[in-house]
């Protein structure tokens, strides 16, 4: 028989142990914070002193809009709309081609990387390392290197984001491909199909909806990444944004940022709609 006193004692000792553990974690985080604050030159006094500058900086971005001359003021705000719009189109195109090329290589590589499908174990390991390298090196690093070797312009941007996309999607695609139903593969193989044919007719139809869905998600991410490529000369709207910020053209900054935000939100919405449709169609097929 356990008495009430024993239960209470057990409760208190368990509570003490938990409190001790929590204290340890809190202390570790506090220590890491102090260390990081020192390394990161955190200066709260400076932040406090410059708080008004935040207000005035962002305040100056608000354009002067009068009711009497609303269209004229808006036209003045977006005074270089044609140029910025062209930059925006470039940005979307960079993201599109980077996603398309990256996904194409990722699909080809995923069937090699997936352990259950790979033609040979060493090929799978090699492919995984290649993907890992491609997604760990930041896109902007690739972009700087590619601008150096391919010249200034959006092509360097496409190649940089494309390479990163290949790595990121290759990992996800590989995981999807590892979950394919082996019966379908065996069926195709029994007809005397080659490895490529088994992948094309046995594995690809199973994984296509997931691939498409991941690809669309990546496209959303890539539009955001493409918006800053211009900082290093790799094309898109980033070039104009960088110039506007560096030369303190406040209303230009807000105009470009607004165009960027609307575009990103719009693309997210469309992509989300498409992704739900793809998954919906897939669910229907699974139920049928």
Partner 1 sequence: MTAWTPARIDALRIAHPGAFPDRGLRMWAGRAAIAVAIVLFVWGLDRLGFGFVRLWQGSGELIRVGGLMLPPQTGGMAQTYALAIAETVAMAFLGTLAASILAVPLGFLGAKNTMPVAPFRVAVRRVFDVVRGIDSLIWAILFVSIIGLGPFAGILAIAVNDTGVLAKLYAEAIENADAEQSRGVRATGAGRVQVIRFGIWPQVVPLFLTNTLYFFESNVRSATILGVVGAGGIGFYLMDRILINAWPQVAFIILLILVTVAVIDWASHRIRRRLI
Q: What is the 3-state secondary structure (H, E, C) of 153-167?
A: CHHHHHHHHHHHHHH
Instruction: Please give the helix or strand (H or E) that residue 76 lies within, else none.
Output: helix 70-77
Q: Which residues of 233-250 are buried (b: 16+ CB within 10 A; e: fewer)?
A: bbbbbbbbbbebeeeebb
Residue closer to partner 1 (CB basis): 185 or 234: 234
How many of the other CB atoms lie within 10 Å of CB of 152?
13
Q: State the nearest-atom distance from the C-beta of 285 to partner 1, in Å.
A: 14
- Min dist CB 69 to partner 1, Å, is 27
Comparison of 257 and 279: residue with beta carbon closer to partner 1: 257
Minimum Å distance from CB 103 to partner 1?
14
**Cβ neighbours of residue 215 closer than 8 Å, sequence gap 6 or more:** 99, 103, 169
Q: Which two tokens stand for residue 52?
A: 């008004």
| Smallest separation, CB 154 to partner 1 (Å) | 4
Q: Which residue has the tokens 């069937």?
A: 111
Angle (CA) 36 42 45, round 5°: 150
Residue 39: phi and psi, rounded to 5, are -65, -35
Q: With respect to partner 1, which residue has the nearer C-beta, 185 or 226?
A: 226
Q: Least distance (Å) from partner 1 to the CB of residue 94?
A: 7
CB 226 to partner 1: min, Å: 9
Q: Which residues bind partner 1 (CB under 8 A)?
A: 29, 32-33, 35-37, 39-43, 46-47, 50, 53-54, 57, 89-90, 93-94, 96-97, 133, 136-138, 140-141, 144-146, 148-151, 153-155, 158, 224-225, 227-228, 231-232, 235, 241-242, 245-246, 248, 253, 257, 260-261, 264-265
Using the minimum distance from each CB to partner 1, give the nearer residue, 108 or 264. Answer: 264
Compare residues 36 and 69 and give the one whose CB is closer to partner 1. Answer: 36
Number of CB atoms found within 10 A of residue 7's CB: 10
Query: Within the chain, how many helices (H) and strands (E) appear?
Result: 13, 0
Residue closer to partner 1 (CB basis): 94 or 207? 94
Q: Which residues contact 142 (CB under 8 A, 6 or more apart)?
A: 159, 160, 161, 163, 164
Of the pair 117, 236, the CB lying nearest partner 1 is at 236
Q: How far is the CB of 287 from partner 1 (least distance, A)?
A: 19
């Amino acid at each position: 028989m356990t008495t009430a006193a024993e239960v209470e004692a057990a409760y208190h000792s368990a509570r003490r142990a938990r409190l001790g553990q929590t204290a340890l974690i809190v202390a570790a985080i506090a220590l890491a914070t102090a260390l990081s604050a020192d390394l990161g030159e955190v200066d709260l006094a400076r932040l406090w002193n410059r708080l008004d500058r935040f207000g005035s900086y962002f305040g100056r971005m608000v354009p002067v809009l009068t009711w009497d001359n609303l269209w004229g003021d808006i036209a003045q705000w977006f005074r270089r709309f044609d140029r910025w719009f062209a930059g925006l189109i470039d940005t979307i195109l960079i993201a599109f081609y980077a996603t398309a090329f990256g996904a194409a290589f990722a699909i080809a590589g995923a069937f090699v990387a997936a352990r259950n499908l790979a033609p040979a174990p060493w090929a799978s390991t090699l492919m995984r390392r290649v993907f890992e390298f491609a997604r760990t090196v930041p896109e902007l690093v690739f972009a700087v290197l590619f601008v150096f070797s391919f010249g200034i312009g959006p092509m360097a941007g496409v190649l940089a984001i494309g390479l990163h996309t290949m790595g990121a999607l290759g990992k996800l695609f590989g995981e999807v491909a590892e979950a394919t139903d082996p019966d379908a593969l065996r069926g195709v193989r029994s007809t005397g199909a080659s490895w490529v044919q088994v992948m094309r007719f046995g594995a690809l139809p199973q994984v296509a909806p997931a691939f498409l869905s991941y690809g669309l998600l990546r496209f959303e991410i890539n539009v955001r990444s493409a918006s800053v490529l211009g900082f290093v000369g790799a094309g898109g709207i980033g070039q104009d944004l960088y110039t506007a910020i560096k030369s303190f053209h406040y209303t230009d900054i807000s105009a470009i940022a607004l165009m960027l935000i609307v575009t990103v939100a719009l693309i997210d919405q469309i992509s989300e709609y498409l992704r739900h449709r793809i998954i919906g169609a897939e669910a229907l097929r699974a139920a049928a």
